């Protein structure tokens, strides 16, 4: 039995060509499939427009603003609604620039009552509310501190405290041209199904707390996420994504309520001999994922401060040279942090007081044309010698304040690339291992 004869069809070139019935059938099927897909796409788009327009205009659904043009078509420009509609936005950007200004850094004095108590007890001072208040008063009233410190992070209790004469701490700081900040997370909680990894708590009620903190005088906030590193497989993907997501939600809520968010994704030092290259790889990945989530939540990067770790090897590995630390730290920042971020405030994370200063200065030499202000947000690297000098004794008050200001000055000089090695005021030396055990890495 003979099949159907081939048919003649007109091609795109205008000539007649022979096409077999089999090829013709396949062509017809493809045509019908394309027509069906086109109809389905049209119906889907129509459904989306109808559904969305019942609530808000389509340009708002797509987060775009129409622009008038001369032609018949209208161009669409992507904009940030968070940036456009936030009444605090200009204030947020101005405060971020001020806190990140060159030659100054942040005093991280936001340790919890329990952590502060352990450090007080280590120098023979009882952990009471009054002794904690005295300790913070010593810090904030140090004459000349504002020349070198632009912001001070406070704990909830401290934000509402006053000097012995009855002056609120926020006013004391303002008189020194220091912007008050506040720790807004409520601590770490172990994540189920992980090897001791943690997630930061505190999103519940965060908006209301931020409003109250703003009213009290705070103008920036801090939220700390901790990612543990080991010689094997930590941090896990689960921990990285959970903490990055929480950091982004916190940052969006803080900006909404007038507080510049410090974003602190701390890749924390831990026991082990892992290399500085491993810390660099993990830190780059963590920072990149955090930035991704910040963009997803429409956080305005011009109005945040970043507080990452410097890149160091494991605590059981040989201490890296300042040149190595600067090289890998700058490499990580270049690869993972957009230039829109105004300043990067490195935490002291287990470094000694002098080590933190020298590493900070080396960063300026490694990247003199940095788009960010590479500065500091130090806790123990400013407080350790100060606390030991004071030891709860009134007669040591002035000497303790003097060493605090000298430590702040040394780091200010390092931020400007002007610190003279061999002139550091700290009597200490290597890494603050005891402080790590008492308070966790990162202050």
Which residues are annotated as catalytic? 264, 307
d(CA 218, CA 137): 17
d(CA 84, CA 87): 8
Cα within 13 Å of Cα(165), Cβ side: 6
Residue closest to 198 by CA, chosen among 160, 234, 148, 165: 234
Distance from the Cα of residue 330 to its chain's centroid: 16
d(CA 78, CA 409): 44
Return the H-helix or E-strand segment holding 207: helix 206-216
**Position of tokens 């775009």?**
64
CA distance to 57, 78, 132, 196, 279, per residue, from 68 (Å): 17, 14, 60, 56, 50
CA distance to 185, 210, 249, per residue, from 204 (Å): 10, 11, 11
d(CA 236, CA 229): 9
6 secondary structure, DSSP code: P
Query: Are the C-beta atoms of residues 374 and 346 closer than 8 Å to each other?
Result: yes
Alpha helices in 297-352 (DSSP H): 322-336
Kindly tell me the number of DSSP H helices and DSSP E strands found in the chain.
16, 14
Residues 6+ apart with CB under 8 A from 391: 123, 124, 125
């Amino acid at each position: 039995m003979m099949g159907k004869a081939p048919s003649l069809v007109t091609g795109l070139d205008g000539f007649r060509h022979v096409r077999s019935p089999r090829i013709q059938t396949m062509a017809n099927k493809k045509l019908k499939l394309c027509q069906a897909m086109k109809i389905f796409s049209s119906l889907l788009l129509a459904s989306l427009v109808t559904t969305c327009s019942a609530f808000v205009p389509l340009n708002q659904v797509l987060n775009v603003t129409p622009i008038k043009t001369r032609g018949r078509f209208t161009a669409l420009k992507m904009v940030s609604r968070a940036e456009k509609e936030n009444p605090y936005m200009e204030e947020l950007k101005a405060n971020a620039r001020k806190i990140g200004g060159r030659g100054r850094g942040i005093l991280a004095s936001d340790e919890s009552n329990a952590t502060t108590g352990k450090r007080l007890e280590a120098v023979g001072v009882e952990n009471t509310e009054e002794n904690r208040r005295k300790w913070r008063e010593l810090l904030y009233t140090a004459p000349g501190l504002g020349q070198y410190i632009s912001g001070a992070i406070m704990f909830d209790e401290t934000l509402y405290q006053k000097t012995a004469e009855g002056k609120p701490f926020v006013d004391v700081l303002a008189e020194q041209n220091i912007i008050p900040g506040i720790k807004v997370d409520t601590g770490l909680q172990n994540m189920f199904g992980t090897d001791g990894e943690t997630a930061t708590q505190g999103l519940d009620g965060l908006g209301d707390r931020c409003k109250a903190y703003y009213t009290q005088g705070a103008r920036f906030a801090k939220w700390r996420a901790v990612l543990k590193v080991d010689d094997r497989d930590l941090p896990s993907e689960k921990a990285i994504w959970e903490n990055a997501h929480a950091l982004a939600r916190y940052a969006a809520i803080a900006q909404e309520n007038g507080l510049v968010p410090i974003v602190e994704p701390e890749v924390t030092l831990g026991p082990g001999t892992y290399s500085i290259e491993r810390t660099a790889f993990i830190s780059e990945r963590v920072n990149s994922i955090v930035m991704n989530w910040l963009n997803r939540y429409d956080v305005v990067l011009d109005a945040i401060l970043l507080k990452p770790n410097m890149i160091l090897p494991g605590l059981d590995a040989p201490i890296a040279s300042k040149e190595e630390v600067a090289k890998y730290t700058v490499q990580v920042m270049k690869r993972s942090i957009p230039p829109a971020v105004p300043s990067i405030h490195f935490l002291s994370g287990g470094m000694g007081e002098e080590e933190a200063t020298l590493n900070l200065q080396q960063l300026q030499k490694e990247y003199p044309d940095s788009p960010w202000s590479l500065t500091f947000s130090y806790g123990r690297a400013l407080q350790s010698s100060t606390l030991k000098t004071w030891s709860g004794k009134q007669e040591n008050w002035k000497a303790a304040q003097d060493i605090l200001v000298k430590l702040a000055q040394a780091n200010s000089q390092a931020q400007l690339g002007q610190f003279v090695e061999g002139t550091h005021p700290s009597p200490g030396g290597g890494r603050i291992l005891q402080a790590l055990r008492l308070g966790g890495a990162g202050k």
